[in-house]
Chain A
């Protein structure tokens, strides 16, 4: 079920009504849990079964860690194997089996039987990270395991953030799940602007820009100029799409009385790669920082490795895993490594995490360089294959015929047109208070545009596929 569908509207209204009528926390949690499993199993019921079984396993394993401290390492390993095993099976089986079959066929060995199309359940990558954070925190002694199975299952499967995050930690969400909640009108008043912006960004911007972007990326040999225009478009599309989902997820959670994490803070204003990852998909970045980057760095420091290695390996490994988490394909792996290399290079040049520009000029320069690097990263991310990208960049003309130039300009103009509302919103947010008349007029305009654009197609949110 997707947030922009009629099915979801009916589903949400029923769940919302029942939830607030229930009044007692225990019933509210049961209603939300049942709703979450219905939401998740709507298309494929086995998705919900997989979620339920893996949730039960981690619930038991976390209690096991707390009860038998001497065996906590073994139990943690079991949980890691279980979670990463499920993730690897569903997410990476196709990628590795295709690569293996191709390699074997190169040796003259036929292994077509390995090519079984395994369907990735939406949201698996997101809820796996939630459960892993929980179990690691329990094993570290940072978190007491909960004995409330319904509460834990709801933390893992909470439907507003099930398909594409935010990847909230148990420390943030579980206490809210285990507290009493009574309806307050402020829930609605804080949710409605997020709902308007979420639907507007998805329906009007992301879904429209996607069409121009896909057309170029579906060409055999686009010119460099067309590729540049389409990549700028994808830079806009992915921001609009992903922030739209996050806005809607946060608004829906708010309507049930939950406060969930912010996932974006104007990421394209970043001045360095580290700054970018502190602003982009924040809950994933902090997850990777806390459970991969810091432990790895500590381990390398303990091993007394040379400074160069202890500085370079953690970002490279972390960003490699980030790439792999985003998708099973070489484009994602290279995209992750690209950011890893950028972080290392920026650190080497003295522009690490805490760096601040000395003046406006260096700020503008740093922004221009970083934005260019971000756009390049999205060319890698969006390309159908590395070979295609390499061939377009190496062999294709930059401008091409007049027809190509015209289409490049047309694509740029359309992207500029659909990016404009986001610039206006940013300017309004900076200049006026959130309850200003300008914001009201903006939201009215957004709803009117949305109504006009609604009667077209509405594909899934991009981040569902990760």
Chain B
């Protein structure tokens, strides 16, 4: 008992000292807001590109868009300047921010935004928003993003986590401490032995662990594992998710700014055919389609388009060059009727 009380006492003193010291050391308030902190700067050149090229159609999406659509070929097919904003790993939180803070900041802003998505991604506001994605999001976020904070973070925190993030700077800055500690350990010996500084270690890291050096089976498993998040029972419950997702906000922002929003469901190889699709996903898609119709948002669905077979894909999500050329053409055909003359 004595040793436990002694432990408790020393721990309380140590935590109190850290709570007093860390906010001063880092110049942060105490208590802090539990969500992540973003700076005010938007670090994106897309606004300038949209303005300079007089872009009429913006395509928004992730790496599937990056590897699936040739924006110049699409521009030629549509006969209007089109521009793709493809952020690898991006999800609905990114797309909401990009629409609001990047696309709509262009003067004049484009008349049409086509958002390329797949399955349940639009109603999962907490997908790809933590860890390294916070820095990625910060590129498109301003210092005050209440909707983002609430829908991507606060709604998913338990009371204990909120309290720890607000009152325990040690917990809040955990990632920072870990990275700093690991960084020092990483750079120490290469610096002494080979005069290899932090940049040199980072370069070696990037070379050795480059994506091309990874086992293909691992890449496939990692991709499929990441996608699993989209197909949990909770993820396919459209009614429970829609109001707390970014989709209503994306629609609202587009409508308020007279932007025609078109949703494009991408072709993937996650399920080889519509028959292999889980029933819950089928119901989810029906509800999403009804919701979009109710909001006058056109939906272009390439989900199981037979014109895009497996041979056009390099993995379950991404297309090869031939697939890219064909999909660009198919997308242009699908978008053409919606474009204002």
Report yes or no: A444 in contact with B7, Cβ–Cβ below 8 A. yes
Report yes or no: B218 in contact with A453, Cβ–Cβ below 8 A. no
A87 at the interface (CB under 8 A from B): no
B265 contacts which chain A residues (CB < 8 A)? Answer: none
B161 at the interface (CB under 8 A from A): yes
- Give the CA-CA distance A208 to B179 in the complex, in Å: 11
B10 at the interface (CB under 8 A from A): yes
**Interface flags, B168-209, vs A, CB<8A=1, else 0:** 101111110110001001101110011010001101110111
User: Pick the contact of A219 from B4, B205, B209 — CB < 8 Å?
Assistant: B209
Within 8 A of B (CB), among A20-54: none
A303 contacts which chain B residues (CB < 8 A)? Answer: none
B216 contacts which chain A residues (CB < 8 A)? Answer: 220
Within 8 A of B (CB), among A170-209: 185, 188-189, 192, 208
Report yes or no: B207 in contact with A447, Cβ–Cβ below 8 A. no
A441 contacts which chain B residues (CB < 8 A)? Answer: 10
- Give the CA-CA distance A447 to B165 in the complex, in Å: 16
B20 contacts which chain A residues (CB < 8 A)? Answer: none
Report yes or no: B3 in contact with A439, Cβ–Cβ below 8 A. yes
B186 contacts which chain A residues (CB < 8 A)? Answer: 410, 413-414
Of B11-19, B53-61, B287-295, which stretch is located at the interface? B11-19
User: Within the complex, what minimum Cβ distance (angstroms) separates A402 from chain B?
Assistant: 7
Report yes or no: B2 in contact with A435, Cβ–Cβ below 8 A. yes
**Interface flags, A398-418, vs B, CB<8A=1, else 0:** 000111111101100110010
- Give the CA-CA distance A439 to B6 in the complex, in Å: 11
B208 contacts which chain A residues (CB < 8 A)? Answer: 219, 226, 403-404, 407
A404 contacts which chain B residues (CB < 8 A)? Answer: 204, 208
Report yes or no: B10 in contact with A403, Cβ–Cβ below 8 A. no
Report yes or no: A219 in contact with B204, Cβ–Cβ below 8 A. no
Report yes or no: A407 in contact with B170, Cβ–Cβ below 8 A. no
Most buried by B among A226, A410, A434, A456: A410
Report yes or no: B190 in contact with A219, Cβ–Cβ below 8 A. no
User: Within the complex, what minimum Cβ distance (angstroms) separates B275 from chain A?
Assistant: 15
B contact patch SS:
helix
Report yes or no: A384 in contact with B217, Cβ–Cβ below 8 A. yes
Most buried by B among A406, A413, A414, A435: A406
User: Within the complex, what minimum Cβ distance (angstroms) separates A433 from chain B?
Assistant: 9
User: Within the complex, what minimum Cβ distance (angstroms) separates A197 from chain B?
Assistant: 13
- Give the CA-CA distance A435 to B207 in the complex, in Å: 49
A359 at the interface (CB under 8 A from B): no
Report yes or no: B204 in contact with A388, Cβ–Cβ below 8 A. no
Report yes or no: B174 in contact with A454, Cβ–Cβ below 8 A. yes
- Give the CA-CA distance A453 to B182 in the complex, in Å: 12
A contact patch SS:
helix
A-B interface contact total, Cβ < 8 Å: 118
B213 at the interface (CB under 8 A from A): yes
| Known contacts A451-B174, A453-B178, A443 near B7 by CB under 8 Å | yes
Report yes or no: B171 in contact with A452, Cβ–Cβ below 8 A. yes
User: Within the complex, what minimum Cβ distance (angstroms) separates B66 from chain A?
Assistant: 23
Report yes or no: B7 in contact with A440, Cβ–Cβ below 8 A. yes
B215 contacts which chain A residues (CB < 8 A)? Answer: 218-220, 384, 388
A208 contacts which chain B residues (CB < 8 A)? Answer: 178, 182
Report yes or no: A452 in contact with B178, Cβ–Cβ below 8 A. yes
| Known contacts A6-B161, A208-B178, A404-B208, A451 near B170 by CB under 8 Å | yes
B200 contacts which chain A residues (CB < 8 A)? Answer: 406
Report yes or no: B160 in contact with A455, Cβ–Cβ below 8 A. no
Report yes or no: A220 in contact with B171, Cβ–Cβ below 8 A. no
Report yes or no: B171 in contact with A407, Cβ–Cβ below 8 A. no
| Known contacts A403-B204, A407-B204, A437-B6, A414 near B182 by CB under 8 Å | yes
User: Pick the contact of B185 from A405, A417, A454 — CB < 8 Å?
Assistant: A417
B158 at the interface (CB under 8 A from A): yes
| Known contacts A6-B160, A410-B201, A448-B14, A218 near B218 by CB under 8 Å | yes
- Give the CA-CA distance A388 to B209 in the complex, in Å: 17
| Known contacts A208-B178, A403-B204, A407-B208, A452 near B10 by CB under 8 Å | no
User: Pick the contact of B14 from A185, A414, A444 — CB < 8 Å?
Assistant: A444
User: Within the complex, what minimum Cβ distance (angstroms) separates A112 from chain B?
Assistant: 12
B178 contacts which chain A residues (CB < 8 A)? Answer: 208, 452-453, 456
Report yes or no: A455 in contact with B189, Cβ–Cβ below 8 A. no
Report yes or no: A402 in contact with B213, Cβ–Cβ below 8 A. no
Instruction: Specify the chain A residue showing the minimal Cβ separation from B176.
Output: A452
A454 contacts which chain B residues (CB < 8 A)? Answer: 164, 171, 174
Report yes or no: A410 in contact with B190, Cβ–Cβ below 8 A. yes
Report yes or no: A215 in contact with B209, Cβ–Cβ below 8 A. yes
| Known contacts A410-B186, A443-B7, A456 near B218 by CB under 8 Å | no
**Chain A to chain B contacts (Cβ below 8 Å), 19 pairs:** A6-B161, A188-B4, A208-B178, A208-B182, A220-B214, A221-B213, A384-B217, A403-B204, A406-B194, A407-B204, A407-B205, A414-B182, A435-B3, A443-B11, A444-B7, A448-B170, A451-B164, A452-B178, A453-B174
Given contacts A417-B185, A454-B171, 15 further A-B contacts (CB under 8 A): A208-B182, A219-B208, A219-B214, A219-B215, A220-B216, A384-B218, A403-B204, A403-B207, A406-B204, A410-B204, A440-B3, A444-B11, A451-B170, A452-B170, A454-B164
Chain B residues close to A by CB (< 8 Å): 1-4, 6-7, 10-11, 14-15, 18, 131, 158, 160-161, 164-165, 168, 170-175, 177-178, 182, 185-186, 188-190, 193-194, 196, 200-201, 203-205, 207-209, 213-218
